Amino acid sequence: MNFIRSICSSYWITGFLGLDGSAPAPGGLPAPSGLAATGTNDTSVTLNWDSVSGATSYAVYRDGFRVATPIAAPFTDAALSAGSSHTYSVATRDAAGAEGARSGDITVTTTGAAPKCWTANNYQQVQAGRATTDGSHAYAKGSKQNMGLYNTFVTHTLKESPAGYYVIADGTCP
Protein backbone atom coordinates (compact mmCIF):
# COMPACT_ATOMS: atom_id res chain seq x y z
CA MET A 1 0.00 0.00 0.00
CA ASN A 2 2.84 2.43 0.75
CA PHE A 3 4.29 1.72 -2.69
CA ILE A 4 0.95 2.61 -4.35
CA ARG A 5 0.69 5.81 -2.30
CA SER A 6 4.15 6.87 -3.42
CA ILE A 7 3.65 6.43 -7.18
CA CYS A 8 -0.05 6.37 -7.91
CA SER A 9 -1.54 9.72 -8.86
CA SER A 10 -5.03 8.23 -8.63
CA TYR A 11 -4.55 7.74 -4.90
CA TRP A 12 -3.75 11.43 -4.41
CA ILE A 13 -6.47 12.62 -6.79
CA THR A 14 -9.19 10.66 -4.98
CA GLY A 15 -8.07 12.16 -1.68
CA PHE A 16 -7.97 15.68 -3.09
CA LEU A 17 -11.50 15.36 -4.52
CA GLY A 18 -12.84 13.73 -1.35
CA LEU A 19 -13.71 10.50 -3.20
CA ASP A 20 -11.93 8.37 -0.61
CA GLY A 21 -14.47 9.18 2.11
CA SER A 22 -12.44 12.02 3.57
CA ALA A 23 -14.77 14.76 2.25
CA PRO A 24 -16.08 17.08 4.93
CA ALA A 25 -19.53 16.36 6.30
CA PRO A 26 -22.34 18.52 4.92
CA GLY A 27 -23.35 21.70 6.75
CA GLY A 28 -25.49 21.57 9.84
CA LEU A 29 -28.84 22.38 8.23
CA PRO A 30 -31.28 19.49 7.79
CA ALA A 31 -32.55 18.37 4.41
CA PRO A 32 -35.80 19.91 3.19
CA SER A 33 -38.81 17.64 3.50
CA GLY A 34 -41.88 17.34 1.32
CA LEU A 35 -40.06 17.45 -2.03
CA ALA A 36 -42.70 16.95 -4.73
CA ALA A 37 -43.37 17.76 -8.36
CA THR A 38 -46.32 20.15 -8.42
CA GLY A 39 -46.48 20.58 -12.18
CA THR A 40 -45.08 19.14 -15.40
CA ASN A 41 -45.48 19.81 -19.08
CA ASP A 42 -43.58 18.85 -22.24
CA THR A 43 -40.49 20.91 -21.38
CA SER A 44 -40.53 21.75 -17.66
CA VAL A 45 -40.97 20.43 -14.13
CA THR A 46 -42.05 22.54 -11.16
CA LEU A 47 -40.79 21.41 -7.75
CA ASN A 48 -41.93 22.43 -4.29
CA TRP A 49 -40.59 21.59 -0.81
CA ASP A 50 -41.01 22.64 2.80
CA SER A 51 -38.80 25.55 3.86
CA VAL A 52 -36.13 25.01 6.50
CA SER A 53 -35.49 27.53 9.28
CA GLY A 54 -32.04 29.10 8.86
CA ALA A 55 -31.73 28.32 5.15
CA THR A 56 -30.84 31.32 2.99
CA SER A 57 -31.15 29.38 -0.28
CA TYR A 58 -31.45 25.87 -1.65
CA ALA A 59 -29.47 23.77 -4.10
CA VAL A 60 -31.56 21.86 -6.64
CA TYR A 61 -29.99 18.75 -8.15
CA ARG A 62 -31.14 17.08 -11.38
CA ASP A 63 -29.69 13.64 -12.11
CA GLY A 64 -26.95 14.24 -9.51
CA PHE A 65 -25.81 17.64 -10.83
CA ARG A 66 -26.66 20.99 -9.27
CA VAL A 67 -28.80 22.99 -11.70
CA ALA A 68 -29.93 25.96 -9.59
CA THR A 69 -29.73 27.72 -6.23
CA PRO A 70 -33.12 29.37 -5.71
CA ILE A 71 -33.86 31.40 -2.58
CA ALA A 72 -37.12 29.54 -1.96
CA ALA A 73 -39.58 27.06 -3.43
CA PRO A 74 -41.17 26.64 -5.90
CA PHE A 75 -38.57 26.10 -8.60
CA THR A 76 -39.26 25.41 -12.29
CA ASP A 77 -36.68 23.45 -14.27
CA ALA A 78 -37.21 24.40 -17.91
CA ALA A 79 -35.82 23.48 -21.35
CA LEU A 80 -36.19 19.74 -20.77
CA SER A 81 -37.02 17.20 -23.47
CA ALA A 82 -40.54 15.88 -23.89
CA GLY A 83 -41.07 12.43 -22.38
CA SER A 84 -37.79 12.56 -20.43
CA SER A 85 -37.32 11.33 -16.85
CA HIS A 86 -35.14 13.08 -14.29
CA THR A 87 -34.27 12.48 -10.65
CA TYR A 88 -34.33 15.49 -8.33
CA SER A 89 -33.15 16.25 -4.81
CA VAL A 90 -32.77 19.50 -2.85
CA ALA A 91 -30.26 20.62 -0.21
CA THR A 92 -30.42 23.61 2.13
CA ARG A 93 -27.71 26.29 2.05
CA ASP A 94 -26.70 28.56 4.92
CA ALA A 95 -25.54 32.19 4.73
CA ALA A 96 -21.97 31.06 3.97
CA GLY A 97 -23.18 28.85 1.10
CA ALA A 98 -22.46 25.58 2.93
CA GLU A 99 -24.90 22.87 1.93
CA GLY A 100 -26.76 20.70 4.38
CA ALA A 101 -27.90 17.16 3.70
CA ARG A 102 -29.90 16.46 0.54
CA SER A 103 -33.54 15.48 0.53
CA GLY A 104 -34.66 12.10 -0.70
CA ASP A 105 -34.80 11.65 -4.48
CA ILE A 106 -37.93 11.90 -6.58
CA THR A 107 -38.19 10.94 -10.24
CA VAL A 108 -40.33 13.04 -12.54
CA THR A 109 -41.21 12.50 -16.22
CA THR A 110 -42.16 15.36 -18.52
CA THR A 111 -45.29 14.99 -20.59
CA GLY A 112 -45.30 14.50 -24.34
CA ALA A 113 -43.87 11.87 -26.58
CA ALA A 114 -40.57 10.23 -25.78
CA PRO A 115 -37.69 11.04 -28.10
CA LYS A 116 -37.41 9.00 -31.30
CA CYS A 117 -34.29 6.96 -32.07
CA TRP A 118 -32.84 5.58 -35.28
CA THR A 119 -29.99 3.10 -35.72
CA ALA A 120 -28.34 3.07 -39.13
CA ASN A 121 -24.98 3.41 -40.79
CA ASN A 122 -23.63 6.92 -41.35
CA TYR A 123 -24.50 6.87 -45.06
CA GLN A 124 -28.14 6.02 -44.25
CA GLN A 125 -28.32 8.67 -41.47
CA VAL A 126 -27.21 11.36 -43.96
CA GLN A 127 -29.61 10.12 -46.66
CA ALA A 128 -32.51 10.23 -44.14
CA GLY A 129 -31.67 13.83 -43.21
CA ARG A 130 -30.64 13.11 -39.61
CA ALA A 131 -26.98 13.90 -40.31
CA THR A 132 -24.85 15.97 -42.64
CA THR A 133 -21.51 15.31 -44.27
CA ASP A 134 -18.48 17.28 -45.38
CA GLY A 135 -17.56 14.44 -47.77
CA SER A 136 -15.36 12.56 -45.33
CA HIS A 137 -17.17 12.60 -41.95
CA ALA A 138 -20.82 12.53 -40.87
CA TYR A 139 -22.21 14.95 -38.25
CA ALA A 140 -25.46 14.68 -36.31
CA LYS A 141 -27.85 17.49 -37.35
CA GLY A 142 -28.34 20.06 -34.64
CA SER A 143 -25.69 18.89 -32.17
CA LYS A 144 -23.02 18.63 -34.90
CA GLN A 145 -21.47 15.66 -33.07
CA ASN A 146 -18.83 13.93 -35.19
CA MET A 147 -20.15 10.47 -36.05
CA GLY A 148 -16.97 9.30 -37.77
CA LEU A 149 -16.33 8.41 -41.37
CA TYR A 150 -19.11 8.92 -43.90
CA ASN A 151 -19.53 5.34 -45.09
CA THR A 152 -21.67 2.22 -44.71
CA PHE A 153 -19.37 0.56 -42.15
CA VAL A 154 -19.85 2.96 -39.20
CA THR A 155 -23.21 2.61 -37.42
CA HIS A 156 -24.71 4.90 -34.77
CA THR A 157 -28.01 5.41 -33.00
CA LEU A 158 -29.30 8.98 -33.21
CA LYS A 159 -31.90 10.36 -30.81
CA GLU A 160 -34.13 13.26 -31.87
CA SER A 161 -35.09 15.64 -29.10
CA PRO A 162 -36.41 18.25 -29.72
CA ALA A 163 -37.63 17.92 -33.30
CA GLY A 164 -34.82 18.34 -35.84
CA TYR A 165 -32.04 18.12 -33.21
CA TYR A 166 -30.10 14.84 -33.12
CA VAL A 167 -27.52 13.49 -30.68
CA ILE A 168 -25.51 10.28 -30.71
CA ALA A 169 -27.28 7.86 -28.36
CA ASP A 170 -25.51 4.55 -28.91
CA GLY A 171 -26.81 2.05 -26.34
CA THR A 172 -28.99 4.61 -24.51
CA CYS A 173 -32.17 4.64 -26.61
CA PRO A 174 -35.04 2.30 -25.80
Pairwise pLDDT comparison (119 vs 19), residue with the higher score:
119
Q: What is the CA radius of gyration of the chain?
A: 22
Task: Verify cis geometry, omega within 30 degrees of 0, for the bond prior to 74.
Answer: yes
Assess whether 50 and 99 both reside in one domain: yes
Assess whether 88 and 58 both reside in one domain: yes
Where in the sequence is the domain holding 150, given as residue range(s)? 116-168
Assess whether 85 and 147 both reside in one domain: no
User: Is 65 domain-assigned?
Assistant: yes
Assess whether 105 and 150 both reside in one domain: no
Assess whether 81 and 140 both reside in one domain: no
- What is the reported pTM? 0.56
b (16+ CB within 10 A) / e for 22-32: eeeeebebbbb
Number of domains, the chain: 2
What's the pLDDT at 29?
92
Q: Which of 109, 135, 157 is the last residue of a domain?
A: 109
Query: Which of the residue ranges 36-40, 77-81, 132-136 would you say has the lowest mean pLDDT?
Result: 77-81
Residue 40 contacts residue 74 (beta carbons within 8 Å): no
Is residue 12 very low, low, confident or very high in pLDDT (cuts 50, 70, 90)? low
User: Is 12 domain-assigned?
Assistant: no
Beta bridge partner(s), residue 60: 68, 90
User: Is 7 domain-assigned?
Assistant: no
